[in-house]
Amino acid sequence: MNSVQYICGIVKGEWFIMKNKALQEQRIRGYFIEATKEILKSEGLKSVSVRNIAEKAGYSFATLYNYFKDAKDLVFLCVQDFQTECTEHVTARSAKAARGEKKLRAILLAYLEYFVQYPGIFELFYVEKLSDLNKQPATAPLITGFLDKLCEEEWKYLITGKTVSTAMAANKKAALLYGLSGLLLLYINRQMPAGYPAFLKAATTFIDGQLKDMNA
Site for DNA, rule CB under 7 A? 11-12, 14, 17, 20-21, 25, 28, 48-52, 59-63, 65-66, 70-71
Among 126, 133, 165, 204, the residue binding a copy of itself under the rule CB under 8 A is: 126
Q: Which ranges of 43-70 does DSSP label H, i.e. alpha helix?
A: 50-57, 61-67
* 190: contact with a copy of itself by CB under 8 A: yes
Query: Which residue, 18, 15, 31, is CA-closest to 67?
Result: 31
Query: Which residue, 81, 87, 70, 69, is CA-closest to 40?
Result: 81
Give whichever of 36 and 210 is closer to a copy of itself, judged by the CB atom: 210
Diameter of the chain measured on Cα atoms: 74
Query: Sign of torsion, CA 27 32 34 37?
Result: negative
* 192: contact with a copy of itself by CB under 8 A: yes
Give whichever of 133 and 177 is closer to DNA, judged by the CB atom: 133
With contacts defined by CB under 8 A, how many residues of the chain interact with a copy of itself? Answer: 33
Q: Are 172 and 210 in contact (CB under 8 A)?
A: yes
Give whichever of 8 and 175 is closer to DNA, judged by the CB atom: 8
Smallest separation (angstroms) from DNA to the CB of 18: 9
Q: Are 101 and 94 in contact (CB under 8 A)?
A: no
Q: Are 136 and 142 in contact (CB under 8 A)?
A: no
Among 50, 97, 143, 159, the residue binding a copy of itself under the rule CB under 8 A is: 143
Q: Which ranges of the chain does DSSP label H, i.e. alpha helix?
A: 3-8, 14-42, 50-57, 61-67, 71-93, 101-117, 119-122, 132-135, 139-144, 146-160, 166-190, 196-212
Span 160-179, contacts to a copy of itself by CB under 8 A: 171, 174-175, 177-179
Give which of a copy of itself, DNA, none residue 19 binds (C-beta under 5 to 8 Å, depending on kind). Answer: none
Residues that bind a copy of itself (CB under 8 A): 126-130, 135, 140-141, 143-144, 171, 174-175, 177-183, 185-186, 189-192, 202, 205-206, 209-210, 213, 216
